[in-house]
């Protein structure tokens, strides 16, 4: 993955195989900068189609995305007795084991599998929709999954580890984070096992992990591996908008279509991430998968369950990427960075003293090479955080501290504008581009 904001994400697209998304260029009227060179990557979000496995494989599974990620191997559970106990949301989960014959993988699977579900998203026609995964958050029936798993669904059916199936409804979504919460309609009659949560800030490269989900529709499947890397960031585009993935967990555990929204757990069977993206030329596992860290995912989920609008850091500027070509054409002082084309009046950038024509080259001392890179760097922070932007103003370099605002008002405005258009709360690509340009500096073609 790259550290700027627009790798490709072919989710929710019709066609025979995943494709490489490309980046169009921003079109801000206040600048005369020419179109910029952009990169293309093959980053796939995979949601298993509701088709026979062999046929789904042939079709390339280009709709949506699913993930499965590795486990972290360090010999936990301390298997010394005849069972393993863990507290989940006040309830005690007891797993009977044979301490002499039970392996770590067996113990982790026994503990975590009851907390992972298969989600069938039914579309408008019998052949539309797909299959993804989700994790049980509580006994009220709230389930965390990826937005792209349930995107555009007319009905949702959830199957638990016990084999029971339930209808579910959408509680809320955060499309730009690719997260959603759904709720079982008859949760009071369900025997639910909420998943235990780990602290994703404590992860280290090389830890053992297990990915749990429904690859190719094969429910309750597990795969193991390690944490390959941390703090991977990217952004992926679909026909309905763009999702920003910051600080993701990279793993070599097998991840395939149908795993999206499923669990990445550690050697204690605790959730460390939500499987969401793979990087692959074929659309299937290539040993490079990514999960949204649980700390971030649960924060968004809690806001959704509380009936709040999930908020993200807000800068208040429209941005364009600087490269060697447009730098020479426009006689700019640097040949990389994020060019500030316009500043929103009374926004955080304007309040801090950022001006149109400034070029942001670093955030807190970390170099920024593009508009995408700045957007991802800011998304890695929280609303209210103060960041120091290094900017070139003409030939002068300045350090400017900015307190990041909240994009809630913009989201409400955008939602009001999209009401009545037949959508299920999501933004069109054009609306999302405009939204990004307003609050953080959207680049065309996200």
Please identify every residue annotated as catalytic. Answer: 148, 178, 260
User: DSSP letter string over 311-332?
Assistant: --EE--EEEEEE-HHHHHHTT-
Given a contact cutoff of 8 angstroms between Cβ atoms, the answer to whether 79 and 100 are in contact is no
Given a contact cutoff of 8 angstroms between Cβ atoms, the answer to whether 309 and 412 are in contact is yes
Q: How many CB atoms lie within 10 A of CB 108?
A: 29
Q: How far is Cα of residue 397 from the mean position of the Cα atoms in its chain? A: 34
Pairing of strands 289-293, 366-367: unpaired
Q: How far apart are CA 7 and CA 277, in angstroms?
A: 11
Question: What are phi and psi for residue 402, nearest 5 degrees?
Answer: -125, 130
Q: How far apart are CA 403 and CA 303, in angstroms?
A: 22
The three-point CA angle 270-273-279 to 5° equals 140
State the first-to-last Cα distance of the chain, in angstroms, to the nearest integer.
16
According to DSSP H, which parts of 242-387 are helical? Answer: 294-305, 324-329, 348-352, 371-379
Q: How far apart are CA 120 and CA 26, in angstroms?
A: 36
| 329 Cβ contact list (under 8 Å, min separation 6) | 33, 34
| 362 Cβ contact list (under 8 Å, min separation 6) | 368, 389, 390
Residue 255 exposure: Cα atoms within 13 Å on the Cβ side: 42
Q: How far apart are CA 173 and CA 378, in angstroms?
A: 21
Q: How far is Cα of residue 414 from the mean position of the Cα atoms in its chain? A: 21
Beta bridge partners of 133: 118
């Amino acid at each position: 993955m790259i550290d700027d904001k627009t790798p490709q994400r072919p989710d929710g697209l019709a066609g025979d195989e995943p494709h490489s998304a490309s980046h169009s260029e921003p079109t801000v009227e206040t600048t005369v900068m020419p179109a910029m060179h952009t990169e293309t990557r093959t980053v796939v979000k995979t949601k298993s189609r509701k088709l026979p496995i062999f046929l789904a494989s042939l079709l390339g599974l280009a709709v949506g995305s699913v993930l499965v990620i590795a486990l972290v191997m360090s010999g936990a559970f301390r298997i010394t007795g005849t069972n393993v106990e863990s507290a989940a949301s006040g309830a005690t989960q007891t797993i009977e084991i044979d301490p002499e014959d039970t392996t770590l993988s067996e113990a982790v699977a026994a503990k975590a599998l009851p907390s992972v579900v298969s989600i069938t998203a039914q579309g408008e026609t019998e052949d539309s929709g797909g299959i993804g995964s989700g994790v049980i958050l509580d006994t009220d029936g709230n389930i965390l999954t990826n937005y792209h798993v349930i995107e555009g669904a007319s009905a949702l059916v959830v199957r638990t580890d016990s084999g029971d199936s339930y209808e579910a409804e959408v509680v809320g979504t955060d499309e730009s984070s690719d997260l959603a919460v759904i709720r079982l309609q008859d949760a009071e009659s369900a025997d639910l096992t909420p998943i235990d949560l780990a602290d994703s800030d404590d992860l280290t490269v090389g830890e053992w992990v297990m990915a749990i989900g429904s690859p190719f529709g094969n429910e309750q499947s597990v795969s193991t591996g390690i944490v390959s890397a941390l703090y991977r960031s990217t952004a992926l585009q679909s026909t309905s908008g763009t999702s920003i993935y910051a600080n993701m967990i990279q793993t070599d555990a097998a991840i395939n279509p149908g795993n999206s929204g499923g669990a990445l757990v550690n050697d204690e069977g605790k959730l460390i991430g939500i499987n969401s993206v793979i990087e692959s030329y074929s659309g299937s596992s290539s040993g490079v998968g990514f999960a949204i860290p649980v700390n971030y995912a649960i924060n968004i989920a809690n806001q959704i369950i509380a009936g709040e609008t999930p908020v993200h850091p807000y800068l208040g500027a429209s941005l364009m990427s600087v490269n060697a070509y447009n730098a020479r054409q426009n006689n700019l002082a640097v040949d990389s960075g994020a060019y500030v084309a316009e500043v929103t009046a009374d926004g955080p950038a304007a309040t801090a003293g950022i001006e149109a024509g400034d070029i942001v080259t670093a955030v807190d001392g970390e170099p920024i090479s593009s508009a995408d890179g700045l957007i991802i760097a800011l998304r890695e922070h929280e609303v209210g955080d103060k960041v120091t932007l290094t900017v070139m103003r003409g030939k002068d370099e300045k350090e400017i501290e900015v307190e990041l605002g909240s994009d809630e008002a913009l989201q409400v405005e955008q939602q009001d504008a999209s009401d009545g258009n037949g959508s299920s709360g999501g933004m069109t690509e054009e609306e999302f581009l405009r939204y990004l340009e307003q609050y953080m500096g959207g680049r065309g073609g996200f």
